Structure 1
């Protein structure tokens, strides 16, 4: 009888770990500020500019236990920033030294699920310099998913798809006799959540913030991943506006304020005013439809629009079976919305399961000639999902965390739009995506964004489209079945045409293990599944750091390996610092050029060139062209050795993985 086990199930991993380096009682550690668990100097000029300072718990003072590092899916360290965290039991603490003045903190954490799923709550005490105690209420109600896509909240659930291939048993369960036994919980994931807390006053650099699990906590353990600290300014005030309080909104959150929001929006449009949301928590349990209106909050720390997920009496025409809080433009089929401007508030949903037909996103619909600035979105299905055609949307300085699916998706004919200085953490699918289904996304730019710890899929994904740009982003720690950056012809996307610029991005600890293929993916992954990829694609100035497997992968699915190719991708001015396997893995027919691609700490042969696995006498079906300046390598010598060109077969299907050293200045 075959026994299926989750890959080092998270529950079994928690008791292990090692003591923290700064674990001595009474010790005060100097603050270690990082960006995606890296020295900020390694990512200067890349990623979102944010108001907070990030500190990893493993660098703080603790009498708890450091867990990790581990990049194996379905484990607590694998989903932690930097792949390490601190485990506390009741009575234990972790203490951070503030690097700058702060009056607010965000804690990223995990606590156990309820035995039958659904989550628990547990306290976490916060003190500063041993005084000013506050208590945060942590919850796992929005964490802990199990099983196969689209996942289950039930840790004891049987397989959702008996006819799917299961890598753990190398079988299709419904076609296997005797049927395999599943060790439950099967494939636990999505362990983390985060909470924000205003401290009530400003504290100085050098003051000590201690997080303590009280002795009476009902949580057997609490894992703290990191602490963000910041100095939040005074609430924004707009005096001349349609104030929602004047239309009956309840800032205590006890009564539903959706109707008051609608009335304020209608009045503001008639009088050419803005809508103002003063400090408070407003209960909204459905979509607020926005068109030709500006809505301002007092700041995302002060104004929170929060709602329950509500089951519909009958499915909506779009297939939704629930509704919930969200600001939606009109559908594109109805002409879409224009001149919508949303800023300075938080959207907090109540989504705990993935139902792909549900429109339970923080922001949605179609919004042309519009802006979104300074929002904080969590616990929705997708933070922002836009269905085009639509054009000229600008999204800036927004934070999207703890999503069941994507943080943002430009879907179907979104054009000339920008996402910039947006921070994403803990998504259940792609962090930022352009999906050209039915109509091409064109002329869009993802610039200066940070994407951390997508639990499933990719940090940034581009599925078809024309003349798009992905630049100056920081992407870290994708967990499973995805890469930091994916360029792909899949999901029914329109072909790539024109150009695609992927420039000056930094990725770290990227490239996950693909369960079905049983191979490691690249930090950047080109995937020709449904069409050729043959546009003008230029990958320039990128830094691929601490790659779990390959830095660059170009691949097609075995079933279509003779149908589609990837041609004419140009790599220039690239730095590769550490690969578990190769610099380039080619499992497709086609070609690419390389110029000034420098690599070091390469764990396997520099180029793993399998082509389409036909192995003709003429060489691999994939050709590499050396345009000069390609230097460095690893244990096997120069990464792009002359004897490999133009299409020598160097096919090692699954080379041994050599863990690279930590990134360092070039």
Structure 2
């Protein structure tokens, strides 16, 4: 794959051309203040819920996009260009407020709690600021939220920097913006600073103190004296939270000295409550309160229940270690960890009904500062809320039979969930992920294959880096009934890859009945567009039975489907035995299929409309043989529809005609509609 041509990704709105760099600057561009309909508009991933019925997580809150609410601020976007506030917003649009301005939401149903997704500027030298946001309901009952950008704003190249003024972290890496490899350039190219700002949003929850009815109006207003030059509001989630759960017959952490005010560290009290619960065969109960815990709580053969994630909050500081641990961690922090597999692993662990709030502000991949970690077999995790850790749940196997359900993971520096090293017969279902800093849901078969695992009925929104759902090797894997929206850069919605030292794919890989929206992103390293689903043969062939069935790919920025190999290994690895069936593609900026690899795939009942470029962009492995491309598309019938260039699977393109346009012009598709 050529890396010698530069270019820029498409801009998606002339009104959003000058985008945020941050650091207290005002976001340029946008739409003038407007008065939207006063009636509430509830969305799922910024879509009409009817378009995603039966897919994604069933959640207890109603999502409302700020750009559809009433405001005297400025609507920014839509824009899909990385490093902009609009691109990282749900639906690729938000509202920007300056001091004194407001956005007002009409409650669609009874609620006593809200969650606000927002962004405020970084400090000039990094590290974040705090700023107030007033919340009123029907003009009364004012509460003031203290927003922060301390957990936002990363810059530069991987593994990123908190310093907006930093020079390149890797001066010899390819830099798309300058079209060069800096180490081979004299003089070295100048980069704008801050370089590649991203991970701009955070969110905060608030109990309103009483229950309000449908039709009541929640106003978010930036006080006139705010020290934030601007405040961007992406969305509001409203929820009717039930009463706290009470367990009177349990090993209560308060009995062992835990402090529900959060002033004193309660880690030792948790350990004692766990030990007592094992001795007495009771559950551990954590009543309402905020508990300071600044290290791992080791769990094995124990049940820990909170009063509910809105009420029981376990929160900790990130703590620097005096010397690195054997795994090279240099920090510790709040987290519930099973024993590692080399120590025998943990079993029969059941965690439910509480929040884990970390203090992670930088990406250090060797640090074990995850919400849940270690090896947990025959275990369940249900109804947790995890925020500001490195990874929400990172499992290091081998381990077996663990179920994650009804859990929310937001504002992570890296992944949401990762099944790593031989995780088997395990699943994540009906869970919600937003603003992860890497793959939201991943299975990584490094050295030992994952097998018989499922990601089902989950919602993923706005991963700022990498993919919504990524599978790196493994056997008999299912990715089903998920909703994935708005991936930002260096990845897309759904991904299968022979990468990162992963074991080969084997058995059957099912990618079924998922919906993606506003995916198919711009890949800045290759300077091309990806597919909403993309298969990447980087380290070995991909030849397992891969079934992509019943998926809907909506409003794709570039392609709906991509099959690709990297240029240095283009003649070594192929992708075969892939089958696409009963697929709906509604809108592509470029093609339905982009094939940049040798191999083959079958297509049956793949219906497409609003296709921006030629339906099949078939470059194969770039050998351009006179006999045709090295990638063959087999038409099994029922492949209908197309776009600006006619039928998407034209007869003259088959079986392996070269139809290669490396970077076709982008045609912005219309918004998705019912099929």
Q: Is 1:156 the counterpart of 2:182 in the alignment? A: no
Instruction: Tell me what 1:568 maps to.
Output: 577
Q: Partners in 1 of 2:215 and 2:20 — Cα distance?
A: 38
- Is 1:647 aligned to 2:656, yes or no? yes
Matches within 5 A, 1:60-79: 60-79=69-88
Q: Which residue is equivalent to 1:407?
A: 416
Question: What is the aligned counterpart of 1:520 among 521, 529, 550?
Answer: 529
> What are the equivalent positions in structure 2 for 1:108-147 lying under 5 Å apart?
108-147=117-156
- The yes-or-no answer on 1:43 pairing with 2:56 is no
Question: CA separation in 2, counterparts of 1:250 and 1:222?
Answer: 34
Aligned partner of 2:379 in structure 1 is 370
Q: Distance in 1 between the 2:192 and 2:592 partners? A: 36
Is the contact made by 2:19 and 2:27 (CA closer than 8 Å) also made in structure 1? Answer: no
Q: Secondary structure at the match of 1:77?
A: coil
Deviations 1:531-573 (A, max 9, x none): 1000000000000000000000000000000000000100000
C-alpha distance in 1, partners of 2:191/2:570?
Answer: 33
Alignment check: 8 A CA contact 2:138 2:218 kept: yes
The equivalent residue for 1:535 is 544
Per-residue CA deviation, residues 443-501 of structure 1 (Å, 9 max, x unaligned), is 00000000000000000000000001000000000000101000000000000000100
Deviation sequence 1:576-603 (CA, Å, 0-9, x none): 0000000000000000000000000000
Separation in 1 of the partners of 2:176 and 2:221? 40
For 2:32 and 2:306, locate their aligned partners in 1 and report how far apart those are by CA, in whole Å.
44
Give the deviation of 1:14 after TM superposition: 1.0
Distance 1:66 1:9, change over 3 A: closer
CA distance, structure 2, for counterparts of residue 169 and residue 94 of structure 1: 39
Equivalent residue of 1:255, what SS?
Answer: coil
Q: Distance in 1 between matches of 2:518 and 2:48?
A: 14
For structure 1, the 5+ residue unaligned runs are: none
Q: Does 1:14 align with 2:33?
A: no
After TM superposition, give the deviation of residue 330 of structure 1 in Å.
0.2
What secondary structure does 1:78 align onto? Answer: coil
Residues 1:577 and 2:586 are matched in the alignment: yes
Q: TM-score, normalised by structure 2?
A: 0.97
By how many angstroms is 1:166 displaced? 1.0
For residue 177 of structure 2, give the secondary structure of its aligned residue in structure 1.
coil
Q: How far apart are the structure 1 equivalents of 2:192 and 2:496? A: 35
Match of 1:618 in 2: 627
Residues 436/195 of structure 1: CA separation in 2 closer, same or farther (3 Å cut): same
Q: Residue in 2 aligned with 1:454? A: 463
SS in 1 for 2:218: strand
**Pairing 1:387–2:366 present:** no
Would you say 1:210 and 2:219 are equivalent positions?
A: yes
Question: Does the alignment pair 1:293 with 2:302?
Answer: yes
Three-state SS of the structure 2 residue aligned to 1:566 is strand
Which string of whole-angstrom CA distances, capped at 9 and with x for unpartnered residues, describes residues 92-130 of structure 1?
A: 000000000000000000000001100000000000000
The Cα offsets for residues 124-178 of structure 1, whole Å up to 9 and x where unpaired, read as 0000000000000000000001100000000001110011111111222222211
1:168 partnered with 2:169? no
CA distance in 2, matches of 1:110, 1:384: 25
Give the secondary structure class of the aligned counterpart of 1:181.
coil
C-alpha separation in 2, matches of 1:459 and 1:190 = 15
Distance in 1 (CA, whole Å) between partners of 2:34 and 2:448 is 53
What SS class does the counterpart of residue 608 from structure 1 fall into?
Answer: strand
Using the TM superposition, give the Cα deviation of residue 623 of structure 1 relative to its aligned residue in structure 2, in angstroms.
0.3
Measured in 1, the distance between the counterparts of 2:50 and 2:525 equals 37
State which of 331, 347, 350 in structure 1 corresponds to 2:340. 331
CA distance in 1, matches of 2:202, 2:222: 16
Given the alignment, which residue of 424, 430, 444 partners 2:439?
Answer: 430
Match of 1:439 in 2: 448
Aligned partners of 2:143 and 2:519: how far apart in 1?
37
Q: Which runs of 5+ in 2 are unaligned?
A: 1-6, 10-17
Alpha-carbon RMSD = 1.3
The residue number in structure 2 matching 1:502 is 511
SS in 1 for 2:470: strand
Q: Write the distance in 1 (CA, Å) between the matches of 2:660 and 2:230.
A: 45
User: Take 2:182 and 2:527, find their aligned partners in 1: how far apart are those partners?
Assistant: 18
Contact kept? 1:5, 1:183, Cα under 8 Å: no
